Amino acid sequence: MSSVPSDAEPKSWHRYFAVQFNNRAWDLAERISRTREETKEMLEAAHAAAVHWRAIGTPLNQMRAQTLLAQAYALAGFGAFALQLSDEIRTYFLSRESASWELALVHAIHANAAARAGEMEVHRSSYAAAEAALAGVTDAEEREIVEQTLRQVPVP
């Protein structure tokens, strides 16, 4: 948990709120089911995190925030928009050196968005890519992060 800033610097507060909203949105996204209100809160928190990361984050922070937004939109049933976001995210992460866990996560979210958008061939392909990338993840904590997300994705 990030501690509350003791100064009045906007950067400190942006970072604090980026972390707080990011963590809340992921907590809600990892649940197997959510109420309508929790789904709204998940979307709002993901947007708030993205706004704060855009203000002070690195390009990587900003793309990770977009990854969370794509997952939140997919889980909320907005598959077409989630797929647009996850296409951009996947392009970004595949164009740079990325850790296996991050690639697996990006592919899993892309698969989720594709499934919810009705793009079943894309879903199958991205799901397989997520599983292949996950096979290279050796750190237990990183593996659990990806597996939690993959549990939200319909199996092709």
Domain ranges of the chain: 10-150
Contact 68, 29 (CB under 8 A): yes
Q: What is the pLDDT of residues 16-53, one digit of tens each?
A: 999 999 999 999 999 999 999 999 999 999 999 999 99
Q: What is the pLDDT of residues 69-85, one digit of tens each?
A: 999 999 999 999 999 99
This prediction has a pTM of 0.93
Amino acid at 46: A
- Classify domain 10-150 at the CATH topology level: 1.25.40
**Of all helices (H) and strands (E), which one includes residue 51?**
helix 36-56
Residue 151: DSSP 8-state = T
Q: Between the CA of residue 98 and those of 31, 53, 102, 130, 143, what are the distances in Å?
A: 26, 19, 6, 13, 15
User: What would the two tokens of residue 74 be?
Assistant: 């997919």
pLDDT score recorded for residue 52: 98
Contact 145, 114 (CB under 8 A): no
User: What would the two tokens of residue 68 be?
Assistant: 């969370």
Longest dimension (CA), the chain: 51
pLDDT score recorded for residue 9: 87
